[in-house]
Amino acid sequence: MSEYLTTGDVAEEFGVTETTVREWLRDGELIGIKIGSTWRVKESDLKRYLEGQRVKVLLERAKKKQPDVDWQEEQCAECGEAIVVMSRQTGTWVCSPECKQKYDQALLRIAGDEGIPSTVAPRI
């Protein structure tokens, strides 16, 4: 796969029509560049679009389960994956037990036992 994809490549990847992909591009939902009359989408922009859609679903689910809580997007301190957390909580967030273990091990190497935060983001 090259660094830039055609609307046909994107459509095939998602099982949608090229018209749908062009609508996403025209509406600004998906970032791309227009060369002549054809669009090109950078692979990294497509990955960001997918991640944004995933977080949007996570936020909707969290709000549906607990509508009285103010939810927000954060990033895992270990892998950088986007996660959803309660906005009134503070701390360092990780997305999974595996990331927490890696994060804690790195902290131990740097700061010793006193450096490990106890707050971990809830997984929704």
pLDDT band at 40 (very low <50, low <70, confident <90, very high): very high
Tell me how far apart the alpha carbons of residues 111 and 31 are, in angstroms, rounded to a whole number: 41
Q: 10 Å Cβ neighbour count for 56?
A: 12
Rounded to two decimals, the pTM is 0.64
Q: Domains in the chain and their CATH numbers?
A: 1-65 (1.10.1660), 69-124 (no CATH)
CA–CA gap between residue 31 and residue 47 (Å, rounded) = 11
pLDDT (average), residues 7-13: 96
- In angstroms, rounded to a whole number, what is the distance separating the alpha carbons of residues 106 and 15? 41
Q: CB–CB of 92/77 below 8 Å?
A: yes
Q: How many CB atoms lie within 10 A of CB 24?
A: 20
Q: What is the mean pLDDT of residues 98-123?
A: 68
Backbone phi, then psi, for 33, in 5-degree steps?
Answer: -120, 150
Among 52, 29, 53, smallest CA distance to 41 is for: 29
Instruction: List pLDDT tens digits, range 52-103.
Output: 898 889 889 989 998 888 888 888 888 888 888 887 767 777 888 888 888 8
